[in-house]
Amino acid sequence: MEINNIYLEPSLIIDQTNRHEAYYHIYKYDTKEHIGNCGLRLDDTDMNSYLGNIEYEIFEPYRGFHYAKQACLLLGSIARDKGVHSLTITANIHNKASLHVIESLQAKFVHVVRVPKKCRLYRQKDRKLAVYQWNIEEKRNQL
Protein backbone atom coordinates (compact mmCIF):
# COMPACT_ATOMS: atom_id res chain seq x y z
CA MET A 1 0.00 0.00 0.00
CA GLU A 2 1.40 3.38 -0.92
CA ILE A 3 0.95 6.60 0.96
CA ASN A 4 -0.55 8.18 -2.12
CA ASN A 5 -3.85 6.32 -1.57
CA ILE A 6 -5.09 9.45 0.19
CA TYR A 7 -4.68 13.19 0.07
CA LEU A 8 -5.50 15.99 2.50
CA GLU A 9 -7.57 19.08 1.78
CA PRO A 10 -7.26 21.92 4.32
CA SER A 11 -10.44 22.74 6.22
CA LEU A 12 -8.93 25.23 8.72
CA ILE A 13 -5.40 26.55 9.11
CA ILE A 14 -4.25 28.89 11.88
CA ASP A 15 -0.66 29.92 11.29
CA GLN A 16 0.50 32.60 13.71
CA THR A 17 3.84 33.33 15.34
CA ASN A 18 3.30 31.11 18.38
CA ARG A 19 0.43 28.96 17.16
CA HIS A 20 0.06 26.53 14.29
CA GLU A 21 -3.05 24.41 13.92
CA ALA A 22 -4.14 22.78 10.70
CA TYR A 23 -7.20 20.61 10.14
CA TYR A 24 -7.83 18.58 7.03
CA HIS A 25 -10.41 16.44 5.30
CA ILE A 26 -9.01 13.10 4.15
CA TYR A 27 -9.93 11.92 0.65
CA LYS A 28 -9.23 8.76 -1.33
CA TYR A 29 -7.31 9.49 -4.53
CA ASP A 30 -9.10 7.00 -6.74
CA THR A 31 -12.72 7.80 -5.81
CA LYS A 32 -12.38 11.31 -4.31
CA GLU A 33 -14.50 10.10 -1.35
CA HIS A 34 -14.27 12.01 1.93
CA ILE A 35 -13.14 9.23 4.29
CA GLY A 36 -12.21 11.12 7.45
CA ASN A 37 -10.59 14.11 9.10
CA CYS A 38 -7.27 14.84 10.77
CA GLY A 39 -5.43 17.67 12.44
CA LEU A 40 -2.01 18.90 13.47
CA ARG A 41 -1.39 21.16 16.49
CA LEU A 42 2.13 22.53 16.82
CA ASP A 43 1.56 25.14 19.52
CA ASP A 44 3.04 24.31 22.91
CA THR A 45 0.12 24.29 25.34
CA ASP A 46 -0.71 22.30 28.46
CA MET A 47 -3.68 20.72 26.70
CA ASN A 48 -1.48 19.29 23.94
CA SER A 49 0.05 16.96 26.51
CA TYR A 50 -3.42 15.35 26.57
CA LEU A 51 -4.71 16.10 23.08
CA GLY A 52 -1.40 15.33 21.38
CA ASN A 53 -0.06 17.05 18.30
CA ILE A 54 -1.99 14.80 15.91
CA GLU A 55 -5.60 13.74 15.72
CA TYR A 56 -7.36 11.59 13.18
CA GLU A 57 -10.74 10.07 12.52
CA ILE A 58 -11.52 7.61 9.76
CA PHE A 59 -15.20 7.07 9.03
CA GLU A 60 -16.53 3.59 9.83
CA PRO A 61 -16.79 2.13 6.29
CA TYR A 62 -13.14 3.04 5.56
CA ARG A 63 -11.50 1.66 8.69
CA GLY A 64 -9.01 -1.19 8.42
CA PHE A 65 -7.27 0.06 5.26
CA HIS A 66 -4.37 1.91 6.96
CA TYR A 67 -5.75 5.35 6.05
CA ALA A 68 -5.15 6.67 9.58
CA LYS A 69 -1.49 5.73 9.39
CA GLN A 70 -1.19 7.33 5.97
CA ALA A 71 -2.79 10.52 7.30
CA CYS A 72 -0.33 10.54 10.21
CA LEU A 73 2.59 10.16 7.80
CA LEU A 74 1.34 13.12 5.78
CA LEU A 75 0.89 15.19 8.97
CA GLY A 76 4.40 14.17 10.04
CA SER A 77 5.74 15.45 6.74
CA ILE A 78 3.95 18.77 7.23
CA ALA A 79 5.40 19.05 10.76
CA ARG A 80 8.92 18.28 9.46
CA ASP A 81 8.53 21.08 6.92
CA LYS A 82 7.80 23.40 9.88
CA GLY A 83 11.05 22.33 11.60
CA VAL A 84 9.46 19.94 14.11
CA HIS A 85 11.42 16.79 15.00
CA SER A 86 9.08 14.99 17.37
CA LEU A 87 5.32 14.78 17.90
CA THR A 88 3.21 13.69 20.84
CA ILE A 89 0.36 11.33 19.99
CA THR A 90 -2.21 10.21 22.55
CA ALA A 91 -5.02 7.68 22.54
CA ASN A 92 -7.58 6.35 24.97
CA ILE A 93 -6.04 3.28 26.61
CA HIS A 94 -9.04 1.22 25.44
CA ASN A 95 -8.90 2.33 21.79
CA LYS A 96 -7.02 -0.63 20.34
CA ALA A 97 -7.26 0.61 16.74
CA SER A 98 -5.63 3.96 17.55
CA LEU A 99 -2.98 2.31 19.71
CA HIS A 100 -2.17 0.00 16.79
CA VAL A 101 -1.83 2.99 14.42
CA ILE A 102 0.49 4.78 16.83
CA GLU A 103 2.64 1.71 17.37
CA SER A 104 2.82 1.08 13.60
CA LEU A 105 4.42 4.54 13.33
CA GLN A 106 7.13 3.25 15.69
CA ALA A 107 6.25 5.91 18.23
CA LYS A 108 7.65 5.23 21.69
CA PHE A 109 5.33 4.73 24.66
CA VAL A 110 5.97 7.35 27.36
CA HIS A 111 3.31 6.85 30.05
CA VAL A 112 -0.39 6.77 30.88
CA VAL A 113 -2.03 9.97 32.13
CA ARG A 114 -5.37 10.78 33.72
CA VAL A 115 -7.44 13.26 31.72
CA PRO A 116 -8.21 16.43 33.70
CA LYS A 117 -11.84 17.53 33.90
CA LYS A 118 -11.03 20.80 32.11
CA CYS A 119 -9.90 18.91 28.96
CA ARG A 120 -12.42 18.37 26.15
CA LEU A 121 -11.42 14.69 26.07
CA TYR A 122 -12.92 14.31 29.54
CA ARG A 123 -16.30 15.43 28.17
CA GLN A 124 -15.89 12.68 25.53
CA LYS A 125 -15.63 10.15 28.39
CA ASP A 126 -11.86 9.65 28.03
CA ARG A 127 -10.32 9.13 31.46
CA LYS A 128 -6.88 7.63 30.79
CA LEU A 129 -4.63 8.23 27.81
CA ALA A 130 -1.56 6.44 26.56
CA VAL A 131 1.03 9.05 25.59
CA TYR A 132 3.56 8.34 22.84
CA GLN A 133 6.45 10.31 21.38
CA TRP A 134 6.98 9.97 17.63
CA ASN A 135 10.42 10.95 16.34
CA ILE A 136 9.55 12.05 12.82
CA GLU A 137 13.21 12.61 11.93
CA GLU A 138 14.36 9.05 12.76
CA LYS A 139 13.22 7.64 9.46
CA ARG A 140 10.44 7.99 6.97
CA ASN A 141 7.97 5.29 8.07
CA GLN A 142 6.60 3.13 5.32
CA LEU A 143 3.46 0.98 5.19
In a domain, 76, yes or no: yes
142 confidence band (pLDDT: 50, 70, 90): very low
The backbone torsions φ and ψ at residue 137, rounded to the nearest 5 degrees and listed phi first, read -95, -20
Q: At 68, which CATH number?
A: 3.40.630.30
Q: Is residue 100 assigned to a domain?
A: yes
List, for residues 109-136, the tens digit of each pLDDT value: 999 987 777 767 667 777 788 999 999 9
Sorting pLDDT into bands at 50, 70 and 90, what band is 143? very low
Average pLDDT, the chain: 87
Confidence at 90, pLDDT banded by 50, 70, 90: very high
- Give the predicted TM-score (pTM) of the model: 0.87
3-state SS of 101-121 is HHHHCCCEEEEEEECCCCCHH
Structural domain for 67, as ranges: 3-135
Residue predicted with more confidence, 52 or 17: 52
Q: Is residue 143 a part of any domain in this protein?
A: no
